[in-house]
Structure 1
Amino acid sequence: MNPALAVDARGVTKTFGSVRAVDDISVQVAAGEVYGVLGPNGAGKTTFLRMLFGLIRPDSGTIRVFGRTWDEAGVEVLDGVAGFIESPRFYPYLTGRANLAGLTLLDGGTPPGLLEEVLDVVEMSDRADQLVGGYSYGMRQRLGVAASLLREPRLLVLDEPANGLDPAGIRDMRALVKRLAGRGLTVLLSSHDMEEVEEICDNVTIMTRGTVAFHGSIAELRTRAPDPGHALATTDDDRALALGAEHPRISVTRDPEGALAVTGPPAAVSSYVGALVRADVGLLAFTPAHTPLEALFFMLTDDPTHQSLHRPDRVRVAAR
């Protein structure tokens, strides 16, 4: 047991009938960091978070939260923990403030002024007296974070907090998580969006088909990212393909939709682009097919034969 860990999950497995939703995973979250559990839908992220909250029990393995397990401490495991799984729910016929006030009563009350403080933190003070039924999806997500903060947690757990939000809502949610992290709160969030995790997380576990494909820091993940290739559009794609065949260090191919894709070492790609210009082939677009981390994410999660980058014998404790 490591007292520096907010979450210490080891060898956790959960099956539902013939489906192994989580298969022998280990996740360590240091106090004070923002940690991402990343993976496509169905990877096992929400199942793992449900086990952390005690909503379901693992078949094997141990989950400690601030050093406590459900078998040892029961519901006291959740002392200092707050958050929501999937989407938070509220009474639509009550105002945001009334919903939060009701939750404080269920929790035994809160210090004076805390309700107003959390509304300010999530930037909902000016909408708190409106009915929740009129809130946008993003506002309900932020109200869910406010409800969580009423417990004055040390660990905040968020399941896909930006899922279903429009671009402005995604921006606001990411900014909110950054502000909370700046206050010293430990944040554990799940996501299927590599960009979201890259922007706000210190460390990440990538899951696929219930297993761990990668553990480590975002910085370490960047060092393993492959060349993502580029999408190319020209005024003469046939000529561009022919010129590509004259540059053996690169590959120029058509994707299933007919667009051109270019991959190869940066110097060779640059030389190829120069050849297009000299041949009077106009460049209409030349953009990365994916960011490098997106490319690695898809490589790890789309290909079932790809070797995991997870090293199970290495327990990492990383502080912010």
Structure 2
Amino acid sequence: MSDVLAVNAVNVTKTYGSLTAVNNVTVQVAQGEVYGVLGPNGAGKTTFLRMLFGLIRPDSGTLEVFGRSWQRHGVDSLTGVAGFIESPKFYPSLSGRRNLRLLAGLDGGDAAGRVDEVLDVVGLTDRQRDKVRGYSFGMRQRLGVASALLRDPRLLVLDEPANGLDPAGIRDMRALVRQLADTGLTVLLSSHDMGEVEQICDNVTIMKTGTVVHHGAIAALRELAPEQAHRIATTDDDRAASLARARGLAVTTTNDGLDVRGSQKDVDGLIADIIDAGIALRELTRDETPLEALFFMLTESAPAAPDSPTGAHR
């Protein structure tokens, strides 16, 4: 595989008047990986993807796709690139298949010969002749992926592909992305859901208000994450809190009980202590995952990482 990066964005900035939507962002995506750009709404994710597609131009910095840039190569910089920004749109009165055939005609090349293949890849073969107006939101998202695959891309760019989907739709979209990645396709996706990114991405850039607060591999991110949190409610929360602190667990008292953070072994021991003390256990649930907790820590309170203007992950 070529050493040329699929995406090489260095110190990219985009402003709108007094608003800096993307501030000195560096993102480097190797060929063949699934890369996530993660952040809450307003973090600058979609603005970054719009610059990648050439829909808007950065005010400063450089952005290359497979070694090509808009400044030097124009629209040819998008050769081998496909995807969608926000939700894909189709003609609702036409079938899914007819929509794809129209798009294939616009794209030219051998796209028309790929319609059956891409419908099968996204699991819409049985519904291909139904009008799009009868599709669920998840089916429309999958049809959007199918339309992107018509180009036989090397890089697939997806903007919040699971946003708005029900749990079954989210599961199906995750499986589809992983299936595509297993073929060697490079996937760059944005998301505000750490759980989604954790399950399908190899590496991630986390953004907050247009600025990078973290670059890294998912495996390395797990090492930075706090321990698992549990929510506990008992008939005597004061005594339960004392038992938790005696085990070295971090405890926060809430109106609904206790938030307890620590190793699973110590939490298990605490539950045994609570029962042995004759205290009735009313609730025991897992709270946010460790990576979700880290995401909130980074995006709700953390300043930009000192090396974020030049730091990058490959």
Equivalent position of 1:49 in the other structure:
49
Distance 2:222 2:164 in 1: 27
Residue identity matched to 2:289: T
1:216 positional shift: 1.2
Q: Partner of 1:172 in structure 2?
A: 172
- Spell out, residue by residue over 1:197-233, the C-alpha distance to the aligned partner (whole angstroms, 9 max, x if none): 1111111101111111111111111111112432112
1:1-320 map, 5 Å: 3-110=3-110, 113-244=113-244, 247=246, 249-255=248-254, 257-264=255-262, 269-305=267-303, 308=305, 315-317=312-314
Contact 2:6 2:66 in 1 (8 A): yes
RMSD of Structure 2 on Structure 1 (CA): 2.0
**CA spacing shift, 1:153–1:266, aligned 2, 3 Å:** closer
Asked if the contact 1:93/1:132 (under 8 Å) is kept, the reply is yes
The gaps in structure 2 that reach 5 residues or longer are none
Change (3 A) 1:251 1:131: same
Q: Tell me, which stretches of 5 or more residues in structure 1 are unaligned?
A: none
CA displacement at 1:268 relative to structure 2: 5.2
Partner SS for 1:5? coil
Secondary structure in structure 1 of the residue aligned to 2:10? strand
Deviates more, 1:56-65 or 1:275-284: 275-284
Aligned equivalents of 2:135 and 2:267: distance in 1?
49
Q: Are the counterparts in 2 of residues 215 and 310 from structure 1 also a CA contact under 8 Å?
A: no
**Contact 1:122–1:145 (CA<8 Å) still a contact in 2?**
yes
Q: TM-score, normalising length from structure 2?
A: 0.93
Once the two structures are superposed, residues 143-200 of structure 1 have per-residue CA deviations (whole angstroms, 9 ceiling, x without a partner) of 0000000011100000000000001100110111011111111000000111111111
* Corresponding letter in the other structure for 2:219: A
Give the AA of the match of 1:225: A
Structure 2 CA distance, aligned partners of 1:41 and 1:102?
A: 33
Distance 1:3 1:253 in 2: 49
Distance 1:99 1:180 in 2: 22
Number of matched pairs: 313
Contact kept in structure 1, 2:84 and 2:159, CA below 8 Å: yes
Between the aligned partners of 2:123 and 2:298, the Cα distance in structure 1 is: 37
Query: Structure 2: how far apart are the matches of 1:290 and 1:125?
Result: 37
Contact 2:26 2:308 in 1 (8 A): no
1:95–1:20 CA distance, 2 compared to 1 (3 A): same
- State whether residues 234 and 257 of structure 2, in contact with CA within 8 Å, keep that contact through their aligned partners in structure 1: no
CA distance in structure 1 between the aligned counterparts of 2:312 and 2:196, rounded to whole angstroms: 24
Q: Deviations over 1:104-136 (max 9, x none)?
A: 111124256411000000010110101001111
Aligned partners of 2:219 and 2:263: how far apart in 1?
Answer: 22
The 8 Å contact of residues 213 and 308 in structure 2, kept in 1 or not, is answered as: no
Deviation, 1:249, is 2.9
